[in-house]
Amino acid sequence: MVHETTESVFVSAMRKAKWPTNYIGMTSLSGKSRALFLTSYPSLEAWQKDSDAVQKNEGLSATTDSAYMADGALLDSMDQGVFYFQEEMSLRPRADLSQFRYMEVSSYHVKPGKEKEWAEVVKIVKTTYEKSIPDAHWGMFEMLYGGEAGTYLVLSGHKSLAEIDQSFGQGKAFEAAVGEEGMKSLDQKFGDCVDVVQHQLFAFNPHMSYVKDEWIKADPDFWKP
């Protein structure tokens, strides 16, 4: 809750400045205790322009600089990554996350020189889910900066944890659609091109999120800061 308080200073400063760039804050329900913040830009140039504009806004930059000092005293580490949205590897991605309350974050590290094989595996999985499981959806992102080359993130939002319970049945439906021999082949291809896999679960935190006004109006009980 102390961290929520320091993070809410950033949210208040952004709202006071009516800043056009929004972000979502989430806290971990698995693994190490941490907060994750997601900001979306249409390009690297847009990211630079936004950062430059913050620095030029003396009131906003002074408030955020002070907030960073207070926030830093609570943290044992900080990291940042830049990821590029891979539309062809994504399945029914959801641009509007306002109704979601949880986010599954899965990371895959592809072995050097195995990008082609990875693309083939993703294509098989995506095609099967697309045909057999209408409710499945995810967004695929490739790391550009901030970590090991060949790192991919798969983000999948959920309205409740009950949805995740239901998704276990999707895995069985997927296996049935691919077939026993198909699964053996897919597992072999996956193992040949991926060497590290991690799955984590996060909960959206409205106190750490600076979201659009329409999100707040649609569900003020949750999103109102």
> What ranges do the domains of the chain cover?
2-80+204-223, 82-202
| 4 — pLDDT class (breaks 50, 70, 90) | confident
The confidence score (pLDDT) of residue 34 equals 92
Q: Which of 109, 102, 132, 122 is nearest to 205 (CA)?
A: 102
The confidence score (pLDDT) of residue 193 equals 97
CA–CA distance from 130 to each of 124, 127, 156, 185, 189 (Å)?
A: 10, 5, 15, 19, 20
The confidence score (pLDDT) of residue 91 equals 97
| 210 — pLDDT class (breaks 50, 70, 90) | very high
The confidence score (pLDDT) of residue 225 equals 62
| 45 — pLDDT class (breaks 50, 70, 90) | very high
CA–CA distance from 2 to each of 70, 71, 75, 104, 207 (Å)?
A: 10, 9, 11, 25, 11
**Predicted confidence (pLDDT) at residue 85 exceeds the cutoff of 90:** yes
**Predicted confidence (pLDDT) at residue 59 exceeds the cutoff of 80:** yes
**Mean pLDDT estimate for the chain:** 92
| 8 — pLDDT class (breaks 50, 70, 90) | confident
The percent of residues above 70 in pLDDT, for the chain, comes to 98
Quickly name the fold that domain 82-202 has: Alpha-Beta Plaits (3.30.70)
